[in-house]
Structure 1
Amino acid sequence: MDYGVQEPARLGRTRLPDGRLLGWAEWGPADGTPVLVCPGAATSRWLGFGGGVVGSAGIRLISVDRPGLGASDPAPGRTLTSWATDIRHLIRERGLRTPSAVGFSQGAPFALALAANGLVNAVAVVSGSDELAHPRFAHSLSPQVRDLVDAVAADPGAAEVSFAEFGSTDALWDLIIMASPEADRAVYTDPVFQHAFRRAMDEAFSQGPAGYARDTVLAMGRWPFDPADIAVPVDLWYGQQDTSPVHSPDLGESLARVIPKATRHLLPAAAGALLWTHADAVLRSLPT
């Protein structure tokens, strides 16, 4: 089956005001409607989606490596707010006007940070990680995830070191496969998809595990913005068969109540790989 993973049409790096370089990949027409992609944990700009959709939909899909991953230079101590500052410059330099954003899995808080900072006109959160450290999830996290959240709250620096010691392509791949239901394993172990996924992970770890570790600290901590203040439309896409313990514990139900213009799509027969199994619906929910 074709899950829409194709080679990027364009690759590049944009220099930020402090001299760092931010790596990106693009698919679709260069003059198309811009959509920024915030990839999932420990993956790079190389792993796209919707390869059979972006051309006909007129979408310019831009996946951006977060600092320290793939082709983006490190930024020790970075935050969700500093990420938004980096993207503000990228938008200006790349002539992206006011793009939309897609945040998959651990990329969700990064996409929502762009909305909270007024940089995008809409967001699609796909199988997204929620604000796991929020009190509304005090009693609904798995024991393993609760331990991670508590570790970040108690000592973020020590937690970051621990995440770095764990982080590698093989360790993350094994964790993903173990935590996924059969519907997702069928996607992830498809030979073409697996090659693309693991290549993106290899590139993400090409500078070492520090970028992944910093991402995980940010994902497991409190967000520096209130989702209730997000003023743009947010589509929340979840599959009812999703078993990942680090996605939203309630599959976006409470987040939909918090974000004023949220629309929740709960697909009964789907699991967590919605970015590739339902790319057309996700992309066509965004403004054109």
Structure 2
Amino acid sequence: MHVSEPVRLAQHRLSDGRNLAWAEWGPQRGIPVLLCPGAATSRRLGFGTDAVDALGIRLISVDRPGLGASDPSPGRTLSSFAEDIAELRRAVLGSGQLAVVGYSAGGPFALACAAAGVAERTAVVAGADEFASFDNGLPDDLRSIVELAAADPAAAEQSFAEFGSADSLWQLITRFSPEGDLAVYRSPGFEPIFRKAMAEGFAQGPGGYARDTLLTMSRWPFAVADVRTPVDLWYGQLDTSPSHSPDHGAALAGRIPSANHHLVADAGGSLLWTHAEAILRELTRSDR
């Protein structure tokens, strides 16, 4: 497990005038792999950064609108994020195939790219499912959030903004994490970069986090069953988070025809970092 500061930082001005910011690791002419980070986490937190050079991967971590250094986009949707990535791809990433990774709350954004045909290959790692489509099986706290998002989206978004801060998010993550994940998150080589990335995620205020959370907890504008490109689903058997438990991974795998489900027995929610090389190798296999 290894994380390091970005090798390069960049921005692209989109056609509507907004700046979209990202960080990079690995060779600039490498295989492009785009990361949709977890909740309110900025571009500065990558994964597998000690492996990308050897694997020939250009890892690009993108700040979603309103987070980090990317300009806000009021009223944005999962589909509009996929449109932003399509524009970034045309302008910056070239004409080759693009792989997209979504971690935790970034999972729906990665799947939006797959559904829109922006990504030829996708990996969802400890990703959130479309909870608004569940008839039952959600914990009471999560169910109440989903119901509020459906009944009054503006009130839900405001409540997420009132909760949102780097410190409160850190407390939430550590509260629901098992000991194995806590050992990763609190390690001297990880915690400072992780917490810096969360602080940058809230640099413009809680609005970006609140919008992301509303989009995740609402009905998605695409059907995951319609995704036909390869999708790797990675979940840790030891993950105790109510929002990305291994049970949600199994449910999601059953609804995506092209899913390749990986349930890692000795991993928790931190498997994006503890199993980074395996995730990247599987995603970029040349025979896929």
What TM-score comes out, normalization by structure 1 length?
A: 0.97
Matched, 1:93 2:122: no
Match of 1:43 in 2: 41
CA contact (8 A) 2:236 2:269 kept: yes
Q: Match for 2:220 among 220, 223, 228?
A: 223
Amino acid at match of 2:68: G
Alpha-carbon shift at residue 252 of structure 1 (Å): 1.3
Matched residue, 2:104: 105
Q: CA RMSD in A?
A: 1.0
Q: 1:274 aligns with which of 245, 268, 271?
A: 271
User: Which deviations, in whole Å up to 9, do the C-alpha atoms of 1:187-213 show, x marking residues without a partner?
Assistant: 001122000000001111000000000
In 2: Cα distance, 1:192 partner to 1:96 partner = 33
SS for the counterpart of 2:29 is coil
Kindly state the Cα deviation for residue 95 of structure 1 after the two structures are TM-superposed. Answer: 2.6
CA distance in structure 2 between the aligned counterparts of 1:28 and 1:9, rounded to whole angstroms:
8
Equivalent AA in structure 1 for residue 127 of structure 2:
G
Shift of 1:253: 1.1
- 1:61-104 per-position Cα deviation (integer Å, ceiling 9, x unaligned): 00000000001000011000110111111001113433100000
Paired-residue identity, %: 60
Alignment partners' CA distance in 2, 1:233 and 1:23: 27
Q: Distance in 2 between matches of 1:192 and 1:268?
A: 24
SS of 2:154's partner is: helix
Matched, 1:19 2:17: yes
Post-superposition offset of 1:248? 4.7
Instruction: Give the whole-Å Cα distance in 2 for the aligned partners of 1:96 and 1:206.
Output: 30
Letter in 1 for 2:69: A
Change in Cα spacing, 1:113 to 1:69, as seen in structure 2 (3 Å) is same
Deviation at 1:42, TM superposition (A): 0.9
Cα pair 2:165 2:206 within 8 Å, conserved? yes
Q: Distance in 1 between matches of 2:236 and 2:242?
A: 13
Q: How does 1:181-260 map to 2 (within 5 A)?
A: 181-248=178-245, 250-260=247-257
Residue 231 (structure 1) shift? 1.2
- Whether the 8 Å CA contact 2:239–2:245 is kept in 1: the answer is no
Pair 1:96–1:38, CA change in 2 (3 A):
farther
Q: Is the 8 A contact 1:100 1:121 kept in 2?
A: yes
> What amino acid does structure 1 have at the position aligned with 2:13?
R
2:204 & 2:74 partners in 1: Cα distance?
13
Question: What is the correspondence of 1:13-92 to structure 2 with a 5 Å cutoff?
Answer: 13-92=11-90
- CA distance in 2: counterparts of 1:249 and 1:153, whole angstroms: 25
Name the residue aligned to 2:7: 9
Question: Amino acid of the residue matched to residue 5 of structure 1?
Answer: V
CA contact (8 A) 2:239 2:246 kept: no
1:129–1:219 CA contact under 8 A, matched in 2: yes
Q: Which residue of 2 aligns with 1:133?
A: 132
> Residue type matched to 1:31 in 2?
R
Aligned partner letter, 1:258: R
Equivalent of residue 264 in structure 1, options 250, 261, 265 = 261
Gapped runs of 5+ residues in structure 1? none
Tell me the SS of whatever aligns to 1:198. helix
Checking the alignment, whether the CA contact within 8 Å between 1:140 and 1:249 is kept in structure 2 is: no
Kept after mapping to 2: 8 A contact 1:104/1:275: yes
CA distance in structure 1 between the partners assigned to 2:100 and 2:166 by the alignment: 26
> Conserved in 2, the CA contact under 8 Å of 1:256 and 1:262?
yes
C-alpha distance in 1 between matches for 2:47 and 2:4 = 7
Kept after mapping to 2: 8 A contact 1:81/1:224: yes
How far off is 1:121 after superposition? Answer: 1.0
Preserved CA contact (<8 Å) 2:20 2:63 = yes
Q: Is the 8 A contact 2:105 2:128 kept in 1?
A: yes
The whole-number CA distance in structure 2 between the counterparts of 1:245 and 1:256 is 17
Within 1, Cα distance between the matches of 2:184 and 2:113?
29
Offset, 1:247: 1.2
Q: Show structure 2 runs of 5+ residues with no match.
A: none
1:228-284 deviation per Cα after TM superposition (whole angstroms, max 9, x unaligned): 111110010000110111115614112112111101001111110010000011000
* Counterpart amino acid of residue 119 in structure 1: V
Looking at structure 1, the residues matched to 139 and 176 of structure 2 have their Cα atoms a distance apart, in angstroms, of: 12
Q: Which moved more, 1:90-99 or 1:210-219?
A: 90-99
